Amino acid sequence: MTSVAVATRYPAPPVFRSADIAAKTGLILLVTLALLVPGFGNLDGKGLAPRAIGYPLAAFAVPFVWFTWWRQRASFPWTVDFLVTFVCFSDMFGNYLNLYDSVESFDNMMHFVNTGLLAAAFILLTMHRSSTLGAVVERALAFGVSAALLWEIAEYFAFLRWSPERLGAYADTLSDMSLGALGSLIAAFWVHALWRRGRLTEVAPQLELAHQGRTSSRVDAR
């Protein structure tokens, strides 16, 4: 007997939809102004061009993947998309308010929070909500540490190698990567705890289909 697995749809709360749209709008506005108005956003010498290219691409990566491959399988993952977009927007907005230079601990906080948010998004997109805590922690650390390393490499080549800050870059890099790993670890416990409470049920559609297919097969086998 053969069963056809149908993807379950889990609509996100309206607040995530509104927040996601607002964050995307704000990001595009800040990037546009930074490109058109000299000195806007306090990004002179801080890799404006890589940010102007990379952030919109990252912010619209989830919609592109969903529309291309997933839209017939599951509802749009608004929560995940918001997490990714917010990371890009918060960096641009933090620079716009000059918080990186005026608040000493702001850079550390951003590495901790934003790496954790990206790790949470990656977990939600690549793991099923029935995953064990150990598996979630492993995935979060693998992604978070890798993402932190890639960011430090990109930061160096984007602007740090010409900046006087490079003299203290080693200690700063170790601090940033450690905070990113810690943020990823916290994200793993956070996502898993919410899964156990029946929250954050948006997952990668192909994983949902595979899980339902295995469940259907076990039922049919009986």
Contacts of 100 (CB under 8 A, 6+ apart): 42, 94, 106, 107, 110
205, pLDDT greater than 70: no
- pLDDT for 6: 38
Q: Residue 33: its pLDDT value, please?
A: 96
pLDDT of res. 219: 45
For tokens 């540490």, the residue is 145
Query: How far does Cα 73 stand from its chain's mean position?
Result: 22
Render pLDDT for 66-116 as a digit per residue (tens, 0 to 9): 999 888 877 888 999 999 999 999 999 999 999 999 998 999 999 999 999
Confidence (pLDDT) at 94:
97
| Mean pLDDT taken over the chain | 84
**pTM confidence score:** 0.83
Model confidence at 147, pLDDT cuts 50, 70, 90, reads: very high
Residue 216 above 80 pLDDT?
A: no
Which one is predicted more confidently, 8 or 173? 173
Dist CA 192 CA 27 (whole Å): 29
In the chain, where the domains are located: 11-103, 104-222
| pLDDT score, position 1 | 37
More confident residue, 3 or 40: 40
Across 86-95, 153-162, 172-181, least confident range: 153-162
Q: Are 103 and 62 in contact (CB under 8 A)?
A: no
Local confidence band at 7 (pLDDT 50, 70, 90 cut-offs):
very low
User: What are 186-195's pLDDT values in tens digits?
Assistant: 999 999 999 9
User: In the structure, what pLDDT confidence band is assigned to residue 210 with cuts at 50, 70 and 90?
Assistant: low
According to the model, what pLDDT value does residue 162 have?
56
Token look-up 């053969």 returns 2
